[in-house]
Structure 1
């Protein structure tokens, strides 16, 4: 999975690819996202244990379940991760979709990598799952992710009021989606 858009310019000098997560990747994720400055102000929820993620990697490679992860590379270097989680709008067996999330290392933000990685993940999910809908939520103040989502083909659907507890306060979230037919 690589960025094959025509007209990629200097800011797109490196291809963006998704690949299965390795144990070494998890070590790097833990190091990069260990404190509030690592994931940034919109993704720091406090210290959390990594044991469950390591067990999922050992058992199923972080693939093929309701919570999944791939590593994001740019120019062959590890730069972050994308995740997709099963969500439902009614009965899970008939009304589920994927919700995606992304975490890039601080040094690689603001260069279009996140937009391309999210687009790659959507293409992957539509090619390899029966999903009709892929959605994402982001903080109402996270302008960079809102722009990335829109550039990746997502459409704003609305605001979910006081939905996320983070940094000692409730935060509104914006929900975006892309449909297989878009």
Structure 2
């Protein structure tokens, strides 16, 4: 099953909300409790979730909303000179385990390198999220380290694995 990324439309929001409003929909590694989609609605209306400090795309498979990807600006020093993108993904259960995550990561990286001046794109995932770790590695990301007790989820702290891809490594 092939996937493609596209800008989020207002009509997509109910699908995203339904898909991410339960632990089963978000998945064990993305469930942080119930949340509102009010800000997403405002952002889609204001700029289509495509701004200079980050954005989001819908993941579409065979005409269905399969999830979404995001990117946000992160700095390792002065923002003017040391920023990179941090990306994230949520795929709904029926689209997991089919290689879609790998394909989507590759497509998002290509898009961000082609349309922004970023030098580094990073992602983190739970240490025990083997599927996402594999998808990142297949998409060209390299493991850089372990962020100990970096994420609070489901009543306890979780270690995260930091991955990144840099522009020079892809040329």
TM-score by shorter chain over 0.5: yes
Residues 22-74 of structure 1: per-residue CA shift (max 9 Å, x gap): 11211101001111111111000011111111111110000023231001112
Q: 1:74: which partner in 2?
A: 61
Q: 2:79: which partner in 1?
A: 92
* Partner SS, residue 24 of structure 2: coil
Q: 1:166: which partner in 2?
A: 153
* Partner SS, residue 48 of structure 1: coil
Q: RMSD of the alignment, in Å?
A: 0.9
Distance in 2 (CA, whole Å) between partners of 1:67 and 1:26 is 18
Q: 1:112: which partner in 2?
A: 99
Structure 2: 5+ residue runs without aligned partners? Answer: none
The size of the alignment, in residue pairs, is 169
Q: Give how far 1:15 is off.
A: 2.7
Q: 1:34: which partner in 2?
A: 21
Q: If the length of structure 1 is used for normalisation, what is the TM-score? A: 0.90
Q: 1:127: which partner in 2?
A: 114
Distance in 2 (CA, whole Å) between partners of 1:80 and 1:38 is 10
Q: 1:4: which partner in 2?
A: none
Q: 2:10: which partner in 1?
A: 23
Distance in 2 (CA, whole Å) between partners of 1:151 and 1:128 is 22
When you count helix as a share of all residues, which structure comes out higher? Answer: 2
Give the one of 49, 59, 78 matched to 1:62.
49
Distance in 1 (CA, whole Å) between partners of 2:3 and 2:27 is 21
* Partner SS, residue 153 of structure 1: coil
Q: If the length of structure 2 is used for normalisation, what is the TM-score? A: 0.96
Residues 51 and 65 of structure 1, relative CA distance in 2, 3 Å threshold: farther
Give the one of 103, 120, 132 matched to 1:145.
132
